[in-house]
Amino acid sequence: MKETDLISLELISLVNDWEPVLKRLPEDIISQRKNSQARTIKQIVGHIIDSASNNTHRIIHLQYQTSPLIFPNYATFGNNDRWIAIQDFQNEDWMTLVQLWKYSLLHISHVMKNVKTDKMNNEWISGPDEKVTLKSMIIDFPRHLKLHLSEINELINKE
């Protein structure tokens, strides 16, 4: 089994574990409690959707464009908060957000499984004097997701 297959399975497992948790959260918990970045659970879920979408695009571009790839880093200079605000995740229907979160993650897991192994060392320019290989980006994605899921868990359990 390829490493990307294992990562894909890990993402699917996280989706299966977390979807029912997210679906049953009450409105006050998802829209009022905030983490250290002043994000609500709705906004954190929106950020995960953005991350899955942006990383899906990077994975695709890194397989057919010249390496190192020049592709915008939506998180640079706090732009991820701009994305959250512009899309108004705070006022999005919760069940729509949860389903978009679920299917964004299921899709990126599918895309990861299908990455051509000979492209894994292709690089993306992630910032000034910073390059990330496709392999590193894929390997890091579950860590990033789990970081945000732990933030959600803290907010769920916050008194």
DSSP per-residue string spanning the chain:
--HHHHHHHHHHHHHHHHHHHHHT--HHHHHH---TTS--HHHHHHHHHHHHHHHHHHHHHTTTSPSSEE---TTGGGHHHHHHHHHTGGGS-HHHHHHHHHHHHHHHHHHHHT--GGGTT-EEEEETTEEEEHHHHHHHHHHHHHHHHHHHHHHHH--
pLDDT of 97-132, one tens digit each? 999 999 999 999 999 999 999 999 999 998 888 899
Residue spans of the domains in the chain: they are 3-157
Q: What is the CATH number of domain 3-157?
A: 1.20.120.450
pTM metric for this prediction: 0.94
> Is a pLDDT exceeding 70 seen at residue 77?
no
